[in-house]
Structure 1
Amino acid sequence: MVYLKPWATQPFIANDTEQFEKLVKQAFAQRRKTLRNTLKDLLTAEQIESAGIDPTRRAETLAVADFVNLANLLTVM
């Protein structure tokens, strides 16, 4: 049995939830691909690195905070 308890306040806040959803969906769209390849239509490898994330990592290795940082980077551009 699993019990999920929602946070009282969100620890990570995306500036644009639609961009966040789009980024996460695209990151997981192609299994076993690196972020550099799956997100190439949204972000360059340099932009991913500027968020402090290695572009050769795979989506399943990122934390929620990493996805929020990338999505917030999209909204700044």
Structure 2
Amino acid sequence: MDYKPFPKFIKEFVEQNIKVDWGDLAWALSNHWLDVSSIAELAEVLALKNEYLYTSLAIARINNDEPALKTLVFQQA
């Protein structure tokens, strides 16, 4: 049985209190601490310096392609 925290963190709390990296996002995604939409938004901020990665994340987010988003986050972690 997977552990699912309640309530989940919200993106604004994470942005204000935690300097996240790819590993943090992968962990939060694996353990259901943030929803996929919040992970996508935080990942886009981390990907700003990599145009290809940023574009790939944006496309996955726009298309609501959760498997593609997860793959990109885990690859970067």
TM-score, scaled to structure 1: 0.34
Structure with the largest fraction of helix: 2
Which has the greater radius of gyration?
1
Higher relative contact order (CA 8 A, sep 6+): 1
